[in-house]
Structure 1
Amino acid sequence: MTPEDTPFTLRHIEEPEIQFEGGTETSPKRGLIRYGPRLYEEGHHTIKLGIIGDRDSIRRLTELLHDMEVGIHPGTSDNPWQVPYPGLGKSSPLNLSINAKKGWRRQIRRRDIQSVTSKSTPRDRMERFLKLVRKDIEIIERDSVQPNAIIVCIPQEVMDACTPENQDHARIQSEGSDLRNRIKLIGMEARIPTQLIKPSTLAIRTDRQRASRAWNLTVGLLYKSQRGHPWKTRQIEDGHCYAGLSFYRERDEGDDVIRAALAHVFHGRDHIILQSDPLPDITEDENGSPHLSYEAARQVGEQILEYYEAQKGTRPSRFVLHKPSVFWEEEREGLLDATDGVRDLDLVSVDHIENSLPPPVEVEFASSMRGQFSK
């Protein structure tokens, strides 16, 4: 096949510069080492960290945290993804420490795991495990000094037990309930963000893997602990509001299903996570993806924009909202009415396809471009 016969065009896109505390860089890791993260306050910061997991995962995680204190070198290669982890502490360019005291650790014992695996269905096993996690988070929450974030290590047996036979562990879902999202919601109810870790993440065999895990954990905890941001993009324009909508489903003691939604709002330098009130009249399509009613969509849109306006003193000129399912007509109508006065409204749906090419992104343009659709 000649170049003229190629059915697509390849184009190299230069790495964008990102903004750190003291300068810009194209490499996130090198930028953090040279300029440091964008912390909310001056001075050294300590992230107080809670841990929930079985004995083995707690041991592996505490070993990783110990290595992070002194620094980790992934090897001699000069590849950009093998940047050494510089370590933590007051002398670290990251200007961070992590305190994971024993009082913030909760061990999932063998009998607890057996109480999960003994249930008859993946959904019942999931509900049992969530009950255990909720109890542990509530105990940690009652400490006189609360952690800034909690890491929840999901035991392998629990992952196996809660995953239906027709799914892999990438998405632990059953009957429309997502284990990861449910744990995040429990943490948000306690006002303590959670970070989930799978057993494979802690199965570290090389220094390169160890350094990579250390970088990922540091960046994640910076966001989750709300102590600051590792960096920010330079291209986000003032007056633009970006939000992502996720759905959660719970059961109360009477087995009634309660649904809630979370909106992640970004504007300029700042970001916040808002939890909506329980939303009425949520419908699921044939794939189990939830969809908002007109009233629920309008309610979510108004809540996001009210927060933005309270912070900025004006409505955004552009509002971008994404969620993991296509927007139905009544969702679009509700959001259009909620965003009256906003110049541009972009509704983006991101679909996930297992064992395939990267997922397609469907973008729907409303407001001044209402009626157009691009896929």
Structure 2
Amino acid sequence: MKSKIILYLVIVICFLDLFIQLPIITPFALELGASEFMAGIVVAMYSLFNMAGNMAGGYMSDKFGRRNTLLAGMIMQVFFVLIYTTTPSIAILLAVRAVHGFSSGLLTPAAFSLIADISRRSAIGKSMALTGVAIGTAAILGPAAGGIISSAVSYEMVYYILSGVYVFGTVLTFFAIKESSTDDSRTHHAATPFKDLLLRPALNVAYISSFTLMIAQGTLAFGLPIKTGLLGLESSMTGIMLSVFGITAIVVFASPVNKVFSLYKSESLVAAGILILSVSMMILHFAPSPAFIFIVMVLYGFGFGFVFPSMNKIIAEHSAMNERGKANGIFYSYFSLGSVAGSVIAGYFAAVFSLPFLGIGIITLVMLMILMFVRWRLDMNRP
């Protein structure tokens, strides 16, 4: 149990990297002279190279072990994060976002494969809900810390502190995390090729869900600072607003509400969550005041809370140990691809319509319809 708690702390560190940047990366890019559309590209660059890191991390965690992959990613993060502090131009910022996205991408497939490896099959749903608590914690601490530190000191100080956090994560992984994969699973890591996992019908439900969730998340990362700016608010308020959805998600994960993960099918919870996210996006477009935005963030948190553990549970249940790293790598590649799509499309909608949320809400509804079709086909083919 103690080792599992430490692993959840490592997951907090892995995701802190994403959330602490949410309120600052868009204004950071704008301060360096980027247009709104270019700022969207800057946000997306991290996720684009995160995809490559996810695939590499999944392969490495199956071949070399989960712990060794975590260590490699943590050490790279320490140094790549520091480069932000000396970034003089948009061109350099784009390059930094690329290398940082890759190193960050190594972490998540290894961490989630490790959690699935050590969880009893009957308890996978609860384990994934607890990973949601870890991610929700990062979602609370990260945006608030990023917004407050950048307002009180500078954007650069955020990255100095984040680098220090990854020094701690490296030490913690080295001394407290044990390898979960077996010699046999690592020997047979190549038995299932990426193509088979990519086309496996049950896993496709999780992949599409991941992509859709991160379209919404990428839009928040890009669009909420613009929305709060139009309302005359400081960047620190953006961070606080983003933290509200993390608090709500934790309530879903850690309270009696989490019984839904045992009572209902994961596919049904994913569909309900995506519908809630879509409605949240549309309402946010027209939100007239800070108080209204806070209410929408609570609604968004419920959607996130239903989707995240459910789609991770699907991955864990439909992959064996020797292929789980690659399955998680593909899964988190869709995660990253959704962030890219969300940021870029949101940047376009912002340039044309001032705010991106209404258009993204429509797109996520379309993705929900595609998901329902895939699920229908899957149910039709089951014996």
Please confirm whether the aligned pair reaches a TM-score higher than 0.5, indicating the same fold.
no
User: When you count strand as a share of all residues, which structure comes out higher?
Assistant: 1
Structure number with greater Rg is 1
Task: Tell which has more relative contact order, 1 or 2 (C-alpha 8 A, sep 6+).
Answer: 2
User: When you count helix as a share of all residues, which structure comes out higher?
Assistant: 2
What's the TM-score bracket when you normalise by the shorter of the two chains?
under 0.3
